[in-house]
Structure 1
Amino acid sequence: MNFEKYPFEKLNELLAGIVPNEKYELSALTIGEPKFETPQFIQDKLKQTSSSLRKYPSTIGEPFLRESMINFVQNRFNITLSLNQIVPTFGTREVLFNFPQFALYNKQNPVMAFTNPFYQIYEGAAIASRAEVIHIDLIKENNFKAYLSDEDLKRCDLVILNFPNNPTSASMGVEELGEWVKKALEFDFILVNDECYSEIYFDETKKPASLLEASILVGNSDFKNVLVMNSISKRSSAPGLRSGFIAGDAAILKDYLQYRTYVGCASPIPLQEAAAVAWNDQNHVAEFRKIYKKNFEIAKEILGIETPEATFYIWLEVEDELEFTKKLYKEKNIKVLPGSFLGRNGLGKNYIRIALVENEEKTREVLTRLKDFING
């Protein structure tokens, strides 16, 4: 298999040999990893349940974990799922990689579409599935929203959306997502939305919609052909727990669950215990949202950046993203991610991605440094 180098490997190569300005401490704004302590009550639950390491975990996950995820979906999206409509996963990266291989296995000439620019695991899954790829280009002219012609959709076996979006921070409303559900039913393809940024929002009146909500809106209450994935990593500052889920179409999930028994991605029970208390609690998530909202207020103050509806990314347009990245590192000891490393066919060119995942003090200092660089 001929996989592309991961964006961070490309970044290391781009910056190799550059000596950064030692006047400044290194600030890495590259990776979407929260820099905050995992809440203590989650850590405590992990410690308290460590004795259950003596047990083999089951592929389907413990009932308490599935119930906590169902509770999350109910509380957040007002959707009641049954146990056969949700499968716990080891984060979302593994399911984003292996689900397409499962879904496309019996297709003679599989076709997979996904948003572009993108989280690179989508492309890796397509390569592993031997699938032809159709890119759903997210561009400034369409407000970075997803559109694909009926001609292309008729050819698709699997479509992966990602809203709220990494890296552009764009969102799509429930009606817009509903149009995608209609197309999935009309042309009979599996439609997935990667929703791992759904809880990093800043206006209670504009909470990001779930594809499950959109499915019900257009009358597809059984979620036929519709699936969502979500993760605890961003919302709870707990990427190390590796707790996610895939939910929706029960018929698809029944066969996928059997497939997963061979994959071997069962989560250790102490991690399930800690994840369950995190999924069941919304208060700590609200506190993290306040931090990210403040970071965007600082970004608006210093850089004039408008706060997006969701995510913790800035998708900043620049003249030459590769030269900008190299010079910024050399002169200000700041690392950012060139947008062209996240896209194909020219998408992402002349953009950089900035992850606002530090505390208020660090965010203000580094964005001031960035502004000084931009102003020359």
Structure 2
Amino acid sequence: MKFMPYPFERLRILLKASKSKKQGLNLSIGEPGFNAPNSVIQALKDNAELIRFYPTLQPDLIKTQRDFIQERFGVQLKESEIVPTFGSREALFNFPHFIFLQKEYIKKDSPVMAFPNPFYQIYEGTQIITNAQVIYMPLNENNNFKPSLSKDDLERVDIVILNSPNNPTGQALTLEELEKWVKLALKYNFILINDECYSDIYSNNPPPSLLEASVSVGNTNFKNIFVINSISKRICVPGLRSGFVAGNSEILERYKIFRTYIGISIPTTLQKASIIAWKEYKHAQFIREKFRKNLSLAQEIFKDSQIFPYTFYLWLKVQDCNEIHLNPNHLFNDEVFCKELYEETGHIVLPGSYLGRNDGGIGYVRIALTQEEHIMIGALKEIKKFCDNFIYTHACSNR
């Protein structure tokens, strides 16, 4: 069993020997650079003394998260159809693990997972720890960065993880596309999970939830259907670690028991603050507007790049072809770009190849548009100038 280093550790190693000419921005990580709501900070202070007690699940937290789903997606959940979690990462790791412990959800001797490529690396983590076979669903220009599976893959897969809106591409599936996925999950009897952590980041029209799609096709008990979400991006509180899994109650009832054994109870202090946080619709709109302005700024500067309206990332192509190029030091073009960009400007961005396997993400970099607009504008203009020159000097000889 071998886990790959996280992308940020690989980036640290890539840049270790490099020296930048000046101070730049760290745009490699999706951590919003804006203030958290004062109401949440005050709630943490007011409930700090509760750390002397063992955590117990607060019914008000469940109610508040159900209210959020009702308000945001128009879906009314039963209390048994949602489980608060310690952020989304732990659930994305241990929920598929829990599913595979239930042998009835494995079609053959060895479990099979499918997820997009490139991807959020925690998907690979749960695939590794469960010793599951993996089916990569490529996201590229040819398929408009949308995942799909062949009939043969659908027949053998046990868990499919979608990520809509998607990190890193920013693409989102329509309600009709999500409905098709629900129907496939029922027809081929696999567990379908949508990672919806970016569901509240959009420019104009809000992206749909897999829960909406399930209800829309008549699967009102959410058979085989789950979503995982977090408040981190929505109101700039990644340190609060507040998320949930929602979907089929029969499986979630057993998952609740499983969670009591793995030591990830949410501290009551954080639960109290989370109750306030999930109600912060006004602050969510305030943050969304900041991201919208930054995305509009990126679209203005990178006119020839495809930028979807469901993200705070710029998924930037940094080569003039779709071929895989390695330099003499065995670095892909996107790694060379990040290294040279840092040395020239001080700005840190993430190689797309660190977010994928095989050829997933190669030739792209991910740039987090997470700082104030007046800070982002200068950095994006510098990156654009550097990018144009980089593509020119690294032109594909086969074109």
Q: Quickly name the TM-score band, shorter chain normalised.
A: over 0.9
Deviates more, 1:191-200 or 1:45-54: 45-54
Q: Does 1:100 align with 2:89?
A: no
- The residue that corresponds to 1:15 in the other structure is 15
- The residue that corresponds to 1:256 in the other structure is 255
- The residue that corresponds to 1:293 in the other structure is 292
Q: What is the CA–CA distance in structure 2 between the aligned matches of 1:365 and 1:51, rounded to whole Å?
A: 44
Aligned residue for 2:295, secondary structure, equals helix
- Within the candidate set 65, 68, 74, 1:69 is matched to 65
Alignment of 1:91-240 (within 5 A): 91-105=87-101, 106=103, 107=106, 108-203=109-204, 206-240=205-239
Q: Contact (CA 8 Å) 1:86, 1:245: kept in 2 or not?
A: yes
- Within the candidate set 357, 367, 373, 2:380 is matched to 367
- The residue that corresponds to 1:83 in the other structure is 79
Q: What is the CA–CA distance in structure 2 between the aligned matches of 1:85 and 1:374, rounded to whole Å?
A: 47
Deviates more, 1:361-370 or 1:194-203: 361-370
Deviation, structure 1 residue 372: 2.4
Q: How many residues align?
A: 370
Q: What is the CA–CA distance in structure 1 between the aligned matches of 2:135 and 2:165, rounded to whole Å?
A: 20
Over the matched positions of the two proteins, sequence identity in percent amounts to 48
Q: What is the CA–CA distance in structure 2 between the aligned matches of 1:174 and 1:350, rounded to whole Å?
A: 30
- For 1:317-341, what per-residue CA distance to the aligned partner results, in whole angstroms no more than 9, with x for missing partners? 1122111111101111111111011
- The residue that corresponds to 1:338 in the other structure is 351
- Within the candidate set 41, 44, 48, 1:46 is matched to 44
Aligned residue for 2:229, secondary structure, equals strand
Q: Contact (CA 8 Å) 1:297, 1:307: kept in 2 or not?
A: no
Q: What is the CA–CA distance in structure 1 between the aligned matches of 2:256 and 2:8, rounded to whole Å?
A: 32
- For 1:213-234, what per-residue CA distance to the aligned partner results, in whole angstroms no more than 9, with x for missing partners? 0101111011000000000100
Counterpart amino acid of residue 74 in structure 2: N
Q: What is the CA–CA distance in structure 2 between the aligned matches of 1:247 and 1:68, rounded to whole Å?
A: 13
- The residue that corresponds to 1:317 in the other structure is 317
What RMSD, in angstroms, separates the aligned Cα atoms of the two structures?
1.1
Counterpart amino acid of residue 185 in structure 1: L
Deviates more, 1:277-286 or 1:106-115: 106-115
Q: Contact (CA 8 Å) 1:117, 1:138: kept in 2 or not?
A: yes
Aligned residue for 1:228, secondary structure, equals strand
Q: What is the CA–CA distance in structure 1 between the aligned matches of 2:25 and 2:387, rounded to whole Å?
A: 16
Q: Does 1:4 align with 2:4?
A: yes
Q: Contact (CA 8 Å) 2:307, 2:315: kept in 1 or not?
A: no
Q: Contact (CA 8 Å) 2:318, 2:387: kept in 1 or not?
A: no
Counterpart amino acid of residue 200 in structure 1: I
TM-score by length of 2: 0.91
Q: Does 1:34 align with 2:47?
A: no
Give unmatched runs, 5+ long, in structure 1.
Answer: none
Q: Contact (CA 8 Å) 1:208, 1:309: kept in 2 or not?
A: no
Q: Contact (CA 8 Å) 2:211, 2:222: kept in 1 or not?
A: yes
Q: Contact (CA 8 Å) 2:88, 2:228: kept in 1 or not?
A: yes
- For 1:116-135, what per-residue CA distance to the aligned partner results, in whole angstroms no more than 9, with x for missing partners? 10000000100001100011
- For 1:239-290, what per-residue CA distance to the aligned partner results, in whole angstroms no more than 9, with x for missing partners? 0000000001001101111100101111111111111111122110000011
Deviation, structure 1 residue 307: 4.7
Deviates more, 1:301-310 or 1:103-112: 301-310
Give unmatched runs, 5+ long, in structure 2.
Answer: 320-332, 390-399
Deviates more, 1:72-81 or 1:104-113: 104-113
Counterpart amino acid of residue 282 in structure 2: N
Q: What is the CA–CA distance in structure 2 between the aligned matches of 1:5 and 1:144, rounded to whole Å?
A: 25
Runs of 4+ in 1 over 6 A off after TM superposition: none
Deviation, structure 1 residue 114: 0.8
Deviation, structure 1 residue 311: 1.5
Q: What is the CA–CA distance in structure 2 between the aligned matches of 1:146 and 1:218, rounded to whole Å?
A: 20
TM-score by length of 1: 0.96
Q: What is the CA–CA distance in structure 1 between the aligned matches of 2:10 and 2:168, rounded to whole Å?
A: 17
Deviates more, 1:169-178 or 1:47-56: 47-56
Q: Contact (CA 8 Å) 2:118, 2:138: kept in 1 or not?
A: yes
Aligned residue for 1:263, secondary structure, equals coil
- For 1:148-182, what per-residue CA distance to the aligned partner results, in whole angstroms no more than 9, with x for missing partners? 11210111111100000001110100110111100
Counterpart amino acid of residue 14 in structure 2: L
Q: What is the CA–CA distance in structure 1 between the aligned matches of 2:111 and 2:384, rounded to whole Å?
A: 46
